[in-house]
Amino acid sequence: MKKSTVVIVATLCLAFAVPALACSVPVFRYALERWVSDPYEVLVYHRGPLSEDQQAVADLLSSDGHAGKVHANVNLTLVDLDADPDPQLIKIWESQETETLPWLVARYPLPTRIPVDAFAGPLLEENVQRLLDSPTRREIARRLLTGDTAVLVLLESGDQEKDEAAFKLVETHAEQMAQTLKLPEIAPEDLDEVSIDPLALKLDFSTIRVARDDPAEKMFVEMLLGSEEDLHDLNEPMAFPVFGRGRVLYALIGGGITTENVQQAGVDLTGPCTCTVKDQNPGVDLVMAVDWDGLVEQEVEIDKALPPLAGLGGFTEDIQPSATTDETTTTDPTTTENPTTSVAILASESVASESTEPAEESLNHLDTRVYYFPKLSPLWTNLLMFGGFAVVVIIGASIFLFRKKT
């Protein structure tokens, strides 16, 4: 009887505490406001000191280099194979089945538990540039920052008939969902979770196409295909809903690109955020070079506030923005016709203009970037309060029962 009393008290405390993890803010908006992008681990394997040119390329990936200045979610580790590196790093190197050095390996964020590499190849400036950013990812970021609920990315198979049919279905339902889905009513206690007036929230799904063989999107394509098991083996059109800060929800593949499945993705993203703990929700973050924290809460015109990508050789491709497009994304390395419409990737013009020397990094040590975590929200405040209350009640009940027994 006494044990059951304690169990009942504990259960009641947990019952009060659990709702604090839920939130009435729509998933897509909560993710944009609160879910900090998980970092990709980028490993550079080499033997002995890197040459000056090689070090300069590696430094682009460091928190003090270009990657840090454009807020790319990557962490750099230099791995000297002659310096007795960690056994786990050796294991990753042996799985590469190459003797080419220096060698670049990008690993998916740890919370995803994805065992395959997001990318592996020689340490070349071109590979670094395309790992950090691409025209399609910039366009996706621009749309998300200007209010799109999600961007439905159609990764083409190369079969024109299949691709056209899949895109038509996705495009049609993107338009329908914007008209038929309803936003949840945001509870008064959750108003602090959004930086804009809840009445300004809108439903707007857009679409974009990506060819698998587009060289400018090579890294982006690899990230998409590696986000789930066996996607590399399927030669079918695939649709990936991307939301929040560049997070892929899941893949719809070939015959799975149906009315029901596309609409379900819309429902999943527009419903209330039933669990605010990011890692307990489906999805995989992409590498995105965007200052999300600096742009989400600012009342600015995104197209004008974000400068074009610059500072890395000729990698200044831009793509034209469109709300819903039926054209395959293509890239011309020499095109810079509309620089104000590409998503920035530089933190600010002042930061971009600073001259920096290549960062000196210690071998075999993780070069971490600085993260800007949001302020403690009312949800977590409530959770801590309920948790403390639960602890006090359980301790009090235990003392009472112990004294009664003695």
Same domain, 272 and 257: yes
Domains identified in the chain, total number: 2
Same domain, 120 and 169: no
Same domain, 270 and 359: no
* Residue spans of alpha helices (H) in 133-197: 135-145, 160-180
Same domain, 142 and 111: no
Which among 227, 93, 235 is positioned nearest to 156, based on CA atoms? Answer: 235
Angle at 284 (CA atoms; ends 20, 369), nearest 5 degrees: 85
CA distance 283 to 401: 46
Place 9 in a pLDDT band, splitting at 50, 70 and 90.
very low
Place 23 in a pLDDT band, splitting at 50, 70 and 90.
confident
Same domain, 127 and 248: no
Domain housing 156: 135-341
**Is 45 strand, coil or helix?**
strand
Check: CB of residue 359 under 8 Å from CB of residue 65: yes
CA distance 275 to 287: 24
pTM of the model: 0.72
Give the containing element (helix H, strand E) for 378.
Answer: helix 378-405
Same domain, 183 and 315: yes
Same domain, 127 and 217: no
179-198 b/e (C-beta count within 10 Å ≥ 16 → b): eebebbebeeebeebbeeeb
Same domain, 271 and 329: yes
Same domain, 88 and 228: no
- Partnered with residue 253 across adjacent β-strands are 238
Instruction: Render pLDDT for 342-389 as a digit per residue (tens, 0 to 9).
Output: 333 333 333 333 333 333 333 333 333 332 233 334 444 455 555 666
CA distance 85 to 69: 28
Same domain, 76 and 163: no
Check: CB of residue 272 under 8 Å from CB of residue 30: no
3 within domain boundaries: no
Of the two residues 300 and 157, the one the predictor is more confident about is 157
CA distance 41 to 117: 10
Same domain, 53 and 161: no
CA distance 267 to 252: 15
CA distance 357 to 262: 48
Instruction: Render pLDDT for 190-218 as a digit per residue (tens, 0 to 9).
Output: 555 655 666 678 899 999 999 999 999 99
pLDDT higher than threshold 60 for residue 308: no
Same domain, 110 and 167: no
Q: Report the relative pairing of strands 103-107 and 40-46 from DSSP bridges.
A: antiparallel
